[in-house]
Chain A
Amino acid sequence: DAGITQSPRHKVTETGTPVTLRCHQTENHRYMYWYRQDPGHGLRLIHYSYGVKDTDKGEVSDGYSVSRSKTEDFLLTLESATSSQTSVYFCAISEWSGRRTDTQYFGPGTRLTVL
């Protein structure tokens, strides 16, 4: 199994509070991704990183920011959480991107509830 951990695994917070989720990898993979998973929507890309301090937006980036100061860590921040951000958040890593046979390895997920 790819070495990917997410913390916390579960979090309940209140509307308007800041929340930071952490993804940590031990594989030294270049690419890291944050997805959210909601019923009927599959997985949707929030932000991704293609190197230290190199990040870009995905399809549902509004209300989220990310940072990557080290290869192994990718942080997702909800500056002011809203109920619509209640979801399960998955981090993924891949060695490369743009290759047709590239594999993404997923972490175990963080279940976030915003009351």
Chain B
Amino acid sequence: TQLLEQSPQFLSIQEGENLTVYCNSSSVFSSLQWYRQEPGEGPVLLVTVVTGGEVKKLKRLTFQFGDARKDSSLHITAAQPGDTGLYLCAGEGDTDKLIFGTGTRLQVFP
């Protein structure tokens, strides 16, 4: 069974701080996606990374796919209250279906 573990599970920070969320597995994934979910809504795709070592930037968010395609990280620079939400990584598994990580709940206080 392919699993994706995210850390930390919860993160509470002040506006302006930097943070990193990790998504780790012992399995190799052909691609990995990051979603953000706000309360009462479904997840929304932020980015897809497909090449080992790939780095993508989305404004203040930087996503990296590990060289071995077993892990990924999301770094947020100068966090804002609008970044608050649940962040989910998801990897394309052996059956071509998405396997979701356990989630990181981020709270950014003004």
Contacts and interface: CB of A to CB of B under 8 A. Distances in A.
Contacts of B40: 108-109
A16 B43 CA distance: 30
Contacts of A109: 40-42
A43 B41 contact: no
A42 B30 contact: no
Interface string A72-115: 00000000000000000010100001101101111111000000
Interface stretch (B13-21, B70-78, B99-107): B99-107
Contact of B45 (A40, A41, A104): A104
B97 A45 contact: yes
A6 to B, nearest CB: 9
Q: Classify chain A's interface size.
A: 20 to 34
A30 interface: no
A26 B1 CA distance: 34
Which of B40, B41, B48, B97 has the most A CB atoms < 10 Å from its CB?
B97
A108 B96 CA distance: 24
B88 A107 contact: no
Contacts of B97: 45, 48, 58, 97
A33 to B, nearest CB: 8
A91 B7 CA distance: 26
B68 interface: no
20 contacts: A4-B42, A41-B102, A42-B88, A42-B100, A42-B101, A43-B43, A43-B100, A45-B97, A48-B97, A90-B42, A98-B96, A100-B30, A100-B48, A101-B31, A101-B48, A101-B50, A103-B45, A105-B42, A108-B41, A109-B41
Given A40-B103, A43-B88, 7 more contacts: A42-B6, A98-B96, A100-B30, A100-B31, A100-B92, A104-B98, A107-B42
Interface of A: 4, 35, 40-45, 48, 58-59, 90, 92, 97-98, 100-101, 103-109
